[in-house]
A = this chain, B = another copy of it.
Amino acid sequence: MSKLTDVPKRILIGRALRSDRLGETLLPKRVALPVFASDPLSSVAYAPGEVLLVLSIAGLSAYHFSPWIAVAVVVLMFTVVASYRQNVHAYPSGGGDYEVATTNLGPKAGLTVASALLVDYVLTVAVSISSGIENLGSAIPFVVENKVACAVGVIVLLTLMNLRGVRESGTLFAIPTYVFVAGVFLMIAWGAFRGGVLGDDMRAPTADFEIKPEHPGLAGFALLFLLLRAFSSGCAALTGVEAISNGVPGFRKPKSRNAATTLALMGLLAVTMFCGIIALAGATDVRMAENPAKDLVHNGVPLGPDYVQDPVISQVAEAVFGHGSLLFVVLAAATALVLFLAANTAYNGFPLLGSILAQDRYLPRQLHTRGDRLAFSNGIVLLAGAAALLVSIYGADSTRLIQLYIVGVFVSFTLSQTGMVRHWNRLLGTEKDPAERRRMVRSRAINAFGAFFTGLVLVVVLLTKFTHGAWVALLGMCIFYATMTAIRRHYDRVADEIAAPDTPSEDTVRPSRVHSVVLVSKVHRPALRALAYAKLLRSDTLEALTVNVDAEETRALREEWERRGIDVPLKVLDSPYREVTRPVIEYVKSLRAQSPRDVVSVIIPEYVVGHWYEHFLHNQSALRLKGRLLFTPGVMVTSVPYQLESSEAAKLRARKRQDWAAPGSARRGPAERAKDTSPRT
């Protein structure tokens, strides 16, 4: 019952949207791009900086490796995009990596992918919001001075928005995303023009700092390891690429082709922006360090703990556009907004994945209802709580949080691509058409290379990041995996227990007779209604039952009973301690003992009330009695509701709760009308 929280919720979250207003909208490419790509595109706001940060460990001289790392990231990006274009064509149902891995590699691989994705969603929220706060902080210092509070505030805001059921509107996503992309391209173009044509000397605000390397003169294997670590950090730019493969049903037709085109476009934009920013960072002499307080030195003096290191993108923007210029502020705001939208995609993906997992009985069954408000709310609150916890623990420091990221993404990449290879192998086993076979062989080659490359990156990420925080993400995955396995095992055990036997057994043998017992305490409308309904059911015996908790009231009841000439016998049970439950249970058991093959039907008049506090005043004895009766075999319990006037309010509330737009509905597309399999008996 969510009634207790209804009033504050209403105030905070507002009235729910009606689902029919949602319509049967499908996303055109120009809207799909911002809806799906805010996550991968926004990562260029932090990925280049992470590369420089890691390189700084070996000193400024290591910065000249940054273009090579950018090249490696670009190659990886093209590989992943090419691979996922195959997924999108092969699995247009939107099941995504979970479906691909489960179908081709078995349920354990699928569950591993699912665990990885769930962890990944939590980290998307934590990393994107932390980075958004840092970008906002480069324009508004107050924000970065209260980093954790602001980050948690944004999480709370997003949570409330999603609980309210705000639809992912195309416009809402499109404007900041396009402003961000346009801003970054303008910055790259203007920077290239100023540097290349005008010959201006653009200098980042940190250009005058020196870097005190933690490990100067690193070489050989150690240098290689460092470069691999820098590459791992740069791979953050790839997070969210897989989102489109979950969202194919949301595209306009031809769905798969449009999705594949959007994917390619997104990849192209992302790598251009990534490389442009890396190049500009080199040109404007951006200086970043893992521990800026200690390792950044200005005029021979370390900058100290008060120094706040701005993100690369904002330092570059400052150098190109000028400090405090309008374009600088607009880009900072757009960057922050796109990062918050990226976080929002996790709010859409998490409950959707939950609903798919619930269908496969890895999560509680009730989550599988698509658009069930309560189920989605639980998912949203769980996601927000975990993200807020991480943000608080890691002080909303995107650099530290990124160490946890990426592992999940690459687990899911690798398993998904491996699954695709088996998918093509299976199809090739039956396909005869040579043209089709050639296409399949090509696709398989792409996926095989994708699997190999992402698998290699996964190993690199694990090796270079494990002690820096990746173990936390792995632990999270293990917890999800274990919980979901346990839930599945429980459901399987229960399914075995309740499986219908083929031969008639105790459960299927028809019991012989039914004794109906109507519980009454007074002769009032609810009791009369319950009696009237009970009579309709024509059971073998029917009697009214009352518990004598007050001799006076019992006498009045019996008199009233006779006065009205109610034609149902009234049975009175003694209860010296004024209990209700025990005498009734004992009476029902005695009935069962007399004729074990019969069934007892206990009919309870129930008050339907409208306010949560009224629950404390009514039905408590009935509820507890019902709870105990259910443990007695051979009993069924019937509630005959009597709607009190106040129940109208609750009815309206319940109706409103039902008309609610679930997060993620836009990206999943409208539900297809299931074919009616019944002959309408």
List chain B residues, Cβ under 8 A from A500: 523-525, 527-528, 564
Q: Does A326 contact B (CB under 8 A)?
A: no
Q: What sequence of 0s and 1s flags, for each residue 567-583 of chain A, a beta carbon within 8 Å of any chain B beta carbon?
A: 00111101111111110
Q: Is the CB of B678 within 8 A of A368?
A: no
List chain B residues, Cβ under 8 A from A576: 671-674
Query: Which residues of A from 340 to 376 have beta carbons under 8 Å from B?
Result: 355, 359, 364-366, 368-372, 374
Chain A interface bracket (under 10, 10 to 19, 20 to 34, 35 or more): 35 or more
Q: Does A511 contact B (CB under 8 A)?
A: yes
Query: Which residues of A from 655 to 681 have beta carbons under 8 Å from B?
Result: 658, 671-678, 680-681
Across the two chains, which residue of chain B brings its CB closest to A628?
A: B654
What is A's interface to B at a CB cutoff of 8 Å?
A: 1, 355, 359, 364-366, 368-372, 374, 487, 490-491, 494-495, 497-501, 507-511, 513-514, 523-529, 532-533, 535-539, 543, 548-551, 554-555, 558, 564, 569-572, 574-582, 599, 601, 603, 606-608, 614, 616-618, 620-621, 624, 626-631, 633, 635-645, 647, 650-651, 654, 658, 671-678, 680-681
A-B contact pairs, 18 of them (CB 8 A): A500-B528, A507-B528, A511-B533, A511-B536, A514-B537, A533-B636, A548-B678, A554-B677, A569-B681, A577-B671, A582-B658, A627-B654, A630-B641, A630-B643, A635-B641, A636-B639, A637-B638, A638-B639
List chain B residues, Cβ under 8 A from A641: 629-631, 633, 635-637
Please measure, in the bound complex, the distance between the C-alpha atom of A554 and the C-alpha atom of B677, giving whole angstroms: 7
**Extra inter-chain contacts (14) besides given A498-B642, A574-B676, A608-B631, CB under 8 Å:** A359-B578, A490-B614, A491-B617, A497-B525, A498-B524, A500-B524, A507-B532, A509-B532, A548-B674, A551-B674, A558-B677, A572-B677, A631-B651, A637-B639
Contact A621:B365 (CB < 8 A) given known A508-B532, A533-B511, A533-B636 = yes
List chain B residues, Cβ under 8 A from A672: 576
**Other-chain residue from B570, B616, B640, B676 in contact with A636 (beta carbon distance below 8 A):** B640
List chain B residues, Cβ under 8 A from A575: 674
- Give the top 4 A-B pairs by smallest Cβ distance, nearest first: A572-B678, A366-B620, A569-B681, A576-B671
List chain B residues, Cβ under 8 A from A507: 525, 528-529, 532
Chain B nearest CB: distance from A406 CB in Å?
32
List chain B residues, Cβ under 8 A from A355: 578
